[in-house]
Amino acid sequence: MARRRQFSASYKRSIVREADACTTPGAIGALLRREGLYSSHLNKWRKDEAAQLAALPSKPRGPKPDAAKANDRRVNVLELECAKLRKKLERAEHIIHAQKKLCDLLGLPTAEEES
C-alpha cells in the first residue's frame, strides 16, 4: 500500500535554502532528483515560507500615538456624553413636573402623596 510522504519543516527549509544557493544551470534539477522530490514540492514550500514571513508582525507605520491627544479625545467624548445625559435628565424632569401639575388639576394623588 502506498504511503504519502511527510517532510519535516526543517527538511523543507534546508531544501529551499539549498535550491536558492544553486547557481549553475541544472543544479536545482539535480538536487530534486537526488532527494526524490518534484518541482511542485519546491514551489509549494517556497510559497509556504513566504506566507510565514508575511505573517510575522511588522513595525506599524505612521506617527507614534500621542497619549495626550488620546486623553483629550477621550475627555471630549465623555463631555459630549455628559451633555447628552444632562439634556435627557432635564427633559425627564420637565415631564415629571407636567405630570404632577396634571395630577393636581385632575385631583389625582401623586406618588409622593401615596407613600
Report the chain (115 residues): mean pLDDT per 10 consecutive residues: 88 94 93 94 93 79 85 96 97 95 87 68
Query: What is the end-to-end Cα distance of the chain in Å, rounded?
Result: 89
Is 23 contained in some domain?
yes
- Which 3 state secondary structure label does DSSP give 26? coil
Predicted pLDDT of residue 3: 86
pLDDT value of position 115: 63
Let me know if residue 66 belongs to a domain. no
Q: Answer whether residue 100 is part of any domain.
A: yes
Task: Give me the pLDDT at residue 60, please.
Answer: 75
87 and 50 housed in the same domain: no
Q: How many domains does the chain have?
A: 2
- Expressed as residue numbers, the domain containing 84 is 80-114
Indicate whether 51 and 85 sit together in one domain: no
Q: Could you tell me which residues come within 8 angstroms of residue 13 by beta carbon, excluding any fewer than 6 positions away?
A: 49
Query: Does the residue 64 lie in any domain?
Result: no
State the Cα–Cα distance between residues 86 and 90, nearest whole angstrom.
6
57's grid cell: 508582525
For residue 31, tell me if it sits in a domain.
yes
> pTM higher than 0.85 for the full model?
no
State whether 89 and 51 are in the same domain: no
60: in domain: no
The answer to whether position 63 is within a domain reads: no
Counting every residue, how long is the chain? 115
pLDDT reported for residue 29: 94
Tell whether 85 is covered by a domain: yes
The pLDDT value given to residue 25: 92
